[in-house]
A and B are shown apart, each in its own frame.
Chain A
Amino acid sequence: MDETNAYIRIRGLRKVYQMGHTKVHALDGVDLDIPRGSFTVLMGPSGSGKSTLLYLLGGLDRPTSGKIQVGEQDLNSMDENALAVYRRRTLGFIFQQFNLVSSMNTLENISFPMRFNGSSSKARHQRAARLLEQLGMEKYTRHRPTEMSGGQQQRVAIARALVNDPPVILADEPTGNLDTATGFTVMQMLSDLHKEGRTVVVVTHDPRMARFATRMIYILDGRLVSKEDYDQAIATQE
């Protein structure tokens, strides 16, 4: 493991949930280095802890123990305010459920993150309009999420993730709610973001994502495992 080259460094990461009287070890000691500009795919069955890892990396939850460092930023030492600024400046999130605000039109949804960073409404509008143009969705400017297909909604969500031009994109099952063809288009879009030089981390159980990845990480029961072990475990389950 080349520590000097790593952009994201995760050490001894644990996350324990209290579910009634039982403790659930969602993550049980994860060490992971992600280089700058890589396309990392986290594969694992549901309940394996892969989403937990992504959300801890995104600063949306706190680990029980362990350390996460992104560039020069140590997430453990940040308060809630600093974490919000970290998410705003460093990250773009893409979700399985798209998480668009249903009452906002496409343009408003895309520019929503810019409301929290003090941009003028003119700057917001211009930036969102340019992203829409890049995605070839100009004619959906005034559409609401319910008036668009799943693929269109996810493209709007990707545009929203890019609106603050973050160096890191975190995607949680981005193709999970899409049909095969549309899902593939979304994968290509994520690959394009990687080619632009962004660090992309995708959580998925869609094996087609592998062809875009620079690195595959397999996770089972809260631990990182090798591809052989992973394949064997999946085969055994089936």
Chain B
Amino acid sequence: MLDLVKSVPSSQDPIDCRMVAHDLWPRRFLERREEMAVTLPSRVFWPRSDDEVRAVVLAARVERRPLVPFGAGSGVCGGITPGTLAWVLDLKRLDRILELDGERGHVVVEAGMIGERLEEFLNSRGYTLGHFPSSIYCSTVGGWVATRSAGQLSSRYGKIEDMVLAVSGVDGRGEAIHAAIDDPDTGPGAVQLLVGSEGALCVITRVKLRILPLATHRFVRGVSFPTLEQGLTAMRAVLQGGHAPAVLRLYDPLDSALAGATATSTEPLRVHAGGLARARVEDSGPHDAEEPTLFDALVRRVEELAVFSRPRATRAVVGELLGRPGIANSILDRFDGKPRLIVGLEGDADGLLQRGPQLLQLLHAHGATDLGDAPGEKWLRHRHRVSYRMSKAFAVGGWVDTCEVACGWGEVAPLYRAVREALRDTAVVLCHFSHAYHDGCSLYFTFAGGGSTGSGPRGSLTRYDLCWERALTTIRRHGAVVAHHHGVGRSKLKGLRLADGNRAVLMALKRALDPDAILNPGVLGLPAQGA
């Protein structure tokens, strides 16, 4: 097996190693802007089979090399941070679909498969996984499972951990391992102990996922609420009332204002052909006007103030404003939007014509104003775009990051207000509530700030770290969990306080599955090699 490692494609070329040196953690971009050196791993491997993965793991164990599994590198929490001695296991050549069984409702796929390609394959055969993270074009199945990813239709289809029927991989001993929900020797407990392990317990090489037939019709609509609290109460009522919407996303007043004004609608409910999964690609053409970002809103506001006539000057001012978030927040406070909810159902046309009005009636009972189909269909067209449009803020010296947490319904509104308040002089904060359950939901914060170059108190990196520290402190004080679907990585490690028992259980699993602690050292608070 050790000889096999010589035939595994690999490279020590600095360019190849640079490509896998980190994920999309925004802090890394700030470091690059500060011209801090990139730490390159020692070598990158591109295994083509489980056996080749085993060979690399065994070789890493012999050489006592840290080994970092790498999917598509779209993580945003610093989960991929190889040191100079580390080897990186880039899994993108493990991209085969091994089995599709529509009768039994599952697909078996290798871990390096890009999500969009898997969904396209399933769609072409009349199925869907129902998993649509905004990173679907640049994230892998293995990455989803390793971080407990969630997609935009999670209220209907669940999170990735709900879809996983079995996980195969290679542990730190170089042993092939397999856990399946229907295996009495391991059981679903073992599956759920490997899911979310962020590459620290095993290298996930293949996954069996449950699939569902594509829905034939959809209805997606926008409504607004007088207050955020009313919107949250309505969301809870929808979930607890068993309506199982495919989409249920509430945007806070600022985020709602950015979407622009929409008139009240009296149009009757319309059901569109094609489920939400099908609507993903074909309706998302480049002809659509772009949804404004926070950056665009600040530009617009500065332009409205008519202080500067030149776009470049305006952008420079916006960059400056991001470094003075107190002032930026005062400007943005003038955007007074009504919290907007996007709600959507999937199913057959007759069923939707029956369920849709019932759902809208429930929302109206909680104070909703109907905005018609337009906001919903617009969201549908733009739903994968925002993640790719953060660079504008970086280009003017600012930064943007996101933080997704989860808590029970009672804590949602207080936590939202507390985080906004805690960050008021550090960052501009937006929030939406997009993954809801009967007992609580996720809060997805986007914060943007700026600062000068250098390491002083006004430096971007200092401000960025301060922002995270304040956010994590507030999140923990309110009893929320620090991660809902991005994983923990390094950005949230400080917020991950493990009880003694958790640590003992995790450490025991780590020692049993990765006795030399070579797999992705440093995540989940687990010890690094030699510790």
Binding between chains A and B: no
